[in-house]
Amino acid sequence: MFEILKSFETKYGYLKKKGLTIEGLAMVDVKKKKHVIKISRPLIFDNRLIPKRFEGLDVKTNIKLGAEMPIEFNVDRTQPDWHKTQYIWAPERFIKYVERCEKEIKAELDSPLMTRVEMLDALCFGNFEEHKQKSLQLIKEGKLPAYCVN
């Protein structure tokens, strides 16, 4: 399994310059002995460069939450059960962020010709429409709160 991690680091290590951190292997299901490759990356990162799976292992991505999140992603985490009333990764938040910070995002990703759709895909876990559909389904099932303006 460590060979898989080493292979992942060889193939995707260049992304460390863009803020990717390869944290290593992690067990996510003790009973099934399911391991994942655990990575973290900044909010502004081209997620299309990272696979969802690599050599049979899922790639689990966490976003490095800095002291200052863009206003679109600010949620009041001091409230108990804040996650039941606010979904930090709501698709609407990504849309508003891209609309407000298009120039900065393009500059940070070093891609001045990116379209709005490409920026949304890059920021939103690799596929914005897929994330949007999944979010809508989870809202219908009552597993995520609907987006509302704070």
Total-model pTM: 0.87
Q: What are the backbone dihedrals phi and psi of residue 15, each rounded to the nearest 5 degrees, phi first?
A: -75, -10
Task: Write down the pLDDT at residue 67.
Answer: 58
In a domain, 145, yes or no: no
Within this chain, do residues 30 and 59 fall inside the same structural domain, yes or no? yes
Within this chain, do residues 37 and 94 fall inside the same structural domain, yes or no? no
Which of 17, 38, 63 is the C-terminal boundary of a domain? 63
Which of 37, 63, 89 is the C-terminal boundary of a domain? 63
Mean pLDDT by 10 residues, the chain (150 residues): 94 96 90 91 95 95 81 83 85 97 96 97 95 96 85
Instruction: Domain of residue 37: give its range.
Output: 2-63
Number of domains in the chain: 2
Within this chain, do residues 79 and 121 fall inside the same structural domain, yes or no? yes
Task: Write down the pLDDT at residue 138.
Answer: 95
Name residues whose C-beta falls within 8 Å of residue 131's C-beta, 6 or more positions apart in sequence.
Answer: 89, 91, 94, 124, 125
Task: Write down the pLDDT at residue 59.
Answer: 96
Within this chain, do residues 115 and 76 fall inside the same structural domain, yes or no? yes
Within this chain, do residues 42 and 79 fall inside the same structural domain, yes or no? no
**Cβ(36)–Cβ(59) under 8 Å?**
yes
The pairs formed by 145-148 with CB atoms below 8 angstroms and a separation of 24 or more are 145/83, 145/84, 145/85, 145/86, 145/87, 147/87, 147/90, 147/91, 147/92, 147/93, 148/86
